[in-house]
Amino acid sequence: MLVDELPDFTSITPAGLAARIREQLTACARELERIASQTEHATVENTLVPFELGDAELRADLGLLWTYSGSVGGSQWEAVEAELSAPLARYEDARYQDPQLFQRFEVLAGSETDEQTARTISEHLKRFRASGAHLPAEPRQRLREINARLAVLETEFNQRVVRSSLVGAVPFSEADIRGLTDNQRAGLAADAAAHPELADGHPFLAVLRAPTQQPLLTNLDSAAARARLLEAALARGDGHDPKSDTRHIVLETARLRAEKAELLGYADYAAYVAAASTAGSSRAIDAFLTSLVEPARRNVEAEREALVAEYRADGAEWEVTQGVSGGFTAADWAYERARSRREKTAIDEADLSPYFELWNVIENGVFFAANRLYGLEFVPRPELRGYAPDMRVWEVRDADGQVLGLFLGDYYARAGKAGGAWMHSLQDRSRRGHHHAIICNNLNITRPPAGEPTLLTWDEVTTCFHEFGHALHGFLSDVEWPSTAGTAVPRDFVEYPSQVNEVWAAHPQVLASYARHVETGAALPTSFAAYLRSEGDGEDGFAISEMLQAVLLDQAWHRLRIKDVPTQDAAVTEFERQALQATGMGTPLIPPRYRSTYYKHIFGSDYSAGYYSYLWSEALDADTVDWLRTEGANGDDGGLNRRAGERLRACVLSRGNSRDPMEGFRQLRGRDVDTRALLRRRNLER
C-alpha cells in the first residue's frame, strides 16, 4: 500500500539513521565488490540490475538524511551530516572509480539492448570516465582524497550559511518598519520573540533570506532601515562572525576543484562541468552569456536613469553613499521600482496578498493547472504526517486513477531550515524500481500568527508553481531504470520544466480559480490580473543583471587554474570585484544575486560551474511558452489544455534522462531552441 511507502517520521532519530546508513554503506560496498569480481561475462542482469537496484535502501535513507539536514536542521542533524559526508563520498568513488566495474560496463556497451538500457549504460560510462576510472592508481587515489574533502567542505559551507542568516538578522524598531504589511510585521515580531538574544530588546527581527535582495526591501519606507538590511545580507560569511566565515571554504573548494579538473584532463573545472551538460562546452556557454551582457547593461542604465529621476522628483532624503550621484543606492532600487509601479498602476503589492492565501494557491492554483494539463487529481491525506508540523500530504492520481505517489508540502520557514526554495525526492518512479514517487516542495514563507491566514507575495506564488514543476517531472516519470528517473537530467536542463510551469501562475483561468480575497471571496480585479501579466515589462534590467552577475561569478571561480586561486581569505572580496568588472557587469547599484560567501548553489551543492543553467533553461522555457500560446493553444486558452499537456508529458516530463533530454525538446518544437524567445521575454531585443 502507498501509505506503507511513506517513512514513519516519528521513528527517525539522528543517531538511528546514521547507524543505519553506516551499516548500509558497508553492505553496499561489499555488493559492489561482488559485481566487479564476477568471472561471468557481463550482462544486464548480472551487472546493470544489481548496480542500479543494489543500494535502493541506502538511497532511501540518504533521502531522509538530506530531508532532515536541509528542511529541519539543528545541531544533531548537522553533526550526522558532517560525520557521514566523507564516507558517502568514498562510497560514490567506490561505485564509479573501480576499473573492474568500468570494464564490465564497457562490455555491456557492446551488447544488444533496448534503447533505454543502452542510454543508461552510456550514462554510467560517462560517470565512470568523469570520476577517473580510466586513470592509473595514483591519480585515482588523489581524486578520492579530493572528493572526500570537498564533501566535508560542502557540508560545512551549508551549515555556516544557515548560521550566517540567523546571526546576521537585523533588529528593527517600530519606526524602522514603516511600510510593511500586517503579515510582514507579524512575522518579524514572531522572529523577535523566538530569538530574543538577537532582537536585543527590539520588537522586530528580520532573519536574512537566501538571495542578496531581501523581500522586505520592496516596501520598507525607511532608507536607513533598507541600507542596514542590505548591508547585513551582503556581509554574510565575510568574517565578521568567525563561526559563519566561509571565505576559507570558498578558496579551498576552488583550489580542489581546479586540481580535480586538471587530473581528469580538463582546462578548468568549468570545462569539466560543461562536458556533461546539454551545452557541451564552455565556448557554447560563453557565446550564450555574451549575447545577454550588452543588452542587460543597456536596460540597467535606462532603468537607473528613470528611477533616479523619479527618486529625486519624489523628494526622497538622499545620503551620498557608494559614490553614487543623488544618493540612490542598491538598497533603494527595489523600493523605488515598487513605488514607481504603484504610481503608474495605482496598485500596491500589499493589495495583492489578500488574494493569495497559501493553501488556496496550492490546491486551486498549482493543482488546478496540473489537472487541466495532465488530468492529475490530488486527494488530501490529512491522516498522514510529514517530518515537521504544518506540512500537508496529498495522494497524486493520474487521469485513469493510477496512483503516482505522494506530494508533501513544506512551505514555512523555521530555525535550522535552509533558506530558499527547492524540491527534493524521497522516492522516484521507474519500472525497475519504485512504482510511486514521494516528492516534497520546500519554501520559506514567514508563518503568520496562530489562526491567521498565510498570505503570499506574488514572487512566492510563482515560486510555488516553479517548485511544483520539478515535482511534475518526478510524478510523471515513465522510465525503465531508477538512475534516469524524473529530475535525473543534466543540470542545465533540470530547471526547464519548472520554469515552464511558472507561466500558469498568471494564466487567466488559473488566476480565476485561486486568486480569491481571503475575507470576501471576491475574484481578483481585472486591473490586478493585467498588472501581474505585465510584471517586468520594460523593467527587467535589474533582474537579469543580478542573475548574470551571479552566473559570471560562478564561471570566474571555476575558470581558475590551481596557481591562480587566491590564498588569503581577504582576497575573496577583491576577486569578486575584479571578476565582475572584467565582464562589464559590475555595479555598486546591483550586487550579484549571491556573493561567494553565501553562494550555496556553487559552494554547497552541485550547481558549481552550472548556475548558468537557470538562464540556459529559461531559453528552452521561453521558446516552449511561445509554442503553448500558438501551436499548443486551443482557441485562446494559451495552451492550458490536455492536448498540450500530453504533448509536454510525452516529449519532456515522462522521459527523464532515458534519452538525450534535448531530443525531447526538439520533438516538441520540431527544431533546436530559438534563443530570441528569451531575449523578447527579458526585453533584451533592440
What count of other Cβ atoms lies within 10 Å of the Cβ of residue 472?
30
pTM of the prediction? 0.91
pLDDT at position 578: 94
Shared domain check, 318 and 224 = no
Shared domain check, 35 and 16 = yes
Tens of pLDDT, residue by residue over 52-69, are: 999 999 999 999 999 999
Note whether residue 272 is domain-resident: no
Residue 425, beta-bridge partner list: 439
Residue where one domain finishes, among candidates 477, 509, 533: 533
Shared domain check, 383 and 366 = yes
As a whole number of angstroms, the distance between CA 570 and CA 581 comes to: 18
Among 598, 643, 639, 595, CA closest to 621 = 639
Cβ proximity of 525 and 236 under 8 Å = no
What share of residues in the chain are helix, strand, coil (percent, to 5)? 60, 5, 35
Angle at 370 between CA 367 and CA 375, to 5 degrees: 115
Q: What is the mean pLDDT of residues 162-189?
A: 94
Note whether residue 155 is domain-resident: yes
Note whether residue 257 is domain-resident: no
Number of helices (H), then strands (E), in the chain: 29, 7
pLDDT at position 323: 37
Q: What is the mean pLDDT of residues 390-406?
A: 97
pLDDT at position 305: 85
Shared domain check, 358 and 336 = no
Shared domain check, 649 and 510 = no
Shared domain check, 505 and 581 = no
Q: What is the mean pLDDT of residues 584-592?
A: 87
Residue 202 CB burial class (10 angstroms; 0-12, 13-18, ≥19) = middle
Say if residue 313's pLDDT is above 80. no
As a whole number of angstroms, the distance between CA 174 and CA 177 comes to: 6
Shared domain check, 137 and 89 = yes
By residue range, what is the domain housing residue 591?
282-346+538-611
Angle at 443 between CA 507 and CA 625, to 5 degrees: 30
Shared domain check, 490 and 591 = no
Tell me the three cell numbers of residue 367. 493543482
Residue where one domain finishes, among candidates 162, 187, 203: 162
Note whether residue 286 is domain-resident: yes
Element at 632 (helix H, strand E): none
647 vs 584, more confident: 647
Say if residue 325's pLDDT is above 50. no
Among 141, 132, 133, CA closest to 262 = 132
Minimum mean pLDDT among 262-266, 270-274, 315-319, 421-425: which range? 315-319
Number of domains forming the structure of the chain: 5
pLDDT at position 536: 52
Shared domain check, 98 and 68 = yes
Say if residue 539's pLDDT is above 70. no
* Rounded alpha-carbon distances, angstroms, from residue 594 to 291, 330, 509, 586, 590: 22, 14, 35, 13, 11
Note whether residue 141 is domain-resident: yes
HEC string of 360-411? HHHHHHHHHHHHHHHCCEEEECCCCCCCCCCCEEEEEECCCCCEEEEEEEEE
pLDDT at position 534: 77
By annotation, the residues acting in catalysis are 467
Note whether residue 388 is domain-resident: yes
Shared domain check, 236 and 203 = yes
Shared domain check, 420 and 481 = yes
Minimum mean pLDDT among 317-331, 337-351, 432-446, 558-572: which range? 317-331
End-to-end CA distance of the chain: 57
Say if residue 50's pLDDT is above 60. yes
Tens of pLDDT, residue by residue over 17-39, are: 999 999 999 999 999 999 999 99
pLDDT at position 529: 92
Residue where one domain finishes, among candidates 244, 273, 308: 244
pLDDT at position 342: 82
As a whole number of angstroms, the distance between CA 361 and CA 356 comes to: 6
* Rounded alpha-carbon distances, angstroms, from residue 74 to 499, 504, 674: 32, 36, 46
Note whether residue 188 is domain-resident: yes
Shared domain check, 598 and 677 = no
Q: What is the mean pLDDT of residues 210-234?
A: 95
Domain CATH for 420: 1.10.1370.40
Note whether residue 616 is domain-resident: no
pLDDT at position 339: 85
pLDDT at position 535: 63
